[in-house]
Amino acid sequence: MPLHVVVGTSASGIATARLLAESGDRVRILSRRGGGPEHPLIERIAADARDADRLTTLTDGGTTLFNCATPAYNMLPVETPALATALLSAAERTGAGYINLSNTYGYGPADAPLTEDRPMAPTTIKGRVRAQMWEDALTAHREGRIRFAEVRPGDFIGPGQLSVFNLLIAPSVLAGKTVAVPADLDAPHSWAYPGDVARTLVTLSRDERAWGRAWHVPPISDVSVRQVATRFAELTGAPAPHLVSMSPLDLHNAGLADPIVAQMWEMQYQYQRPCLLDASLTAQTFDLIPTPLDEVLLETAQAFTSST
């Protein structure tokens, strides 16, 4: 029975662990607090994945090492380099295939839909951290030291995931309040669902064609902020939302009270212009079909309702 190691209890990490266990594989999920889903085939362990020796010990004997860790948004540039080094070390020392869940930050601004072969051209601190993580791991793969692949989703919609939708859109719509978002409200935007991310990660781990490159997660939709907020209201019976685009000053003032919001300014280029993900290669290669948008929105609404 294969053993897989999942680092991180993000929504995507939890969904990945569940999917693997439900298929009959053993899973070891690591987080600082030892959390994760309950399942007979899932072992939950408290560990700091930045400790390369500890991570290597816990990965030994594993078939695949999945990185789904999400450092606190305001700590991402500080914590990610050590985590990246430990993951590389553990993969090289154990021989486990290494699949990293990343994002689109490393691409930098683009005037066309993003494809996986687009060179890294980051213009932000977070983007440079993500790009370096990718380049170091890809170099190790090409040198034959590890087997590596990377998965890149769009912006998240779905329970439990840190995202603009979950922070700023969903709670305001459900409360009937003005929806204030630091974005071009009508620019098309690719959205991702953690369950689809998990299916992509697991599918890639079982297919030799996956190694040595990046793959995009098929988006659940490419609609604008205005469209997704309006549809969320329609499905939940909330009042038609009033949306406003936050000014840079509004965002600055909001960030004074929230360290996570304070970090959003750096990635504003992704929301002030179209930000689209071309995932046709992933969809065609692995026959992956995204979850319908309405289904994801209803699941998200149910999670918000049950938590209040």
List pLDDT tens digits, range 22-52: 999 999 999 999 999 999 999 999 999 999 9
Please report the pLDDT score of residue 267 as a whole number: 86
Identify the pLDDT of residue 134: 98
Q: How many CB atoms lie within 10 A of CB 306?
A: 8
| pLDDT at position 262 over 80 | no
Contact (Cβ atoms closer than 8 angstroms) between residue 238 and residue 176: yes
Residue 255, pLDDT above cutoff 80: no
pLDDT at 308: 58
Would you tell me how many other CB atoms lie within 10 Å of the CB of residue 106? 25
What length does the chain have?
Answer: 308
Q: Is the pLDDT of residue 271 over 80?
A: yes
Cα separation of 25 and 41, whole Å?
Answer: 7
Give per-residue pLDDT as tens, 95-135.
Answer: 999 999 999 999 999 999 999 999 999 999 999 999 999 99
**Number of other residues whose CB lies within 10 A of the CB of residue 256:** 9
List of E strands, 60-96: 64-67
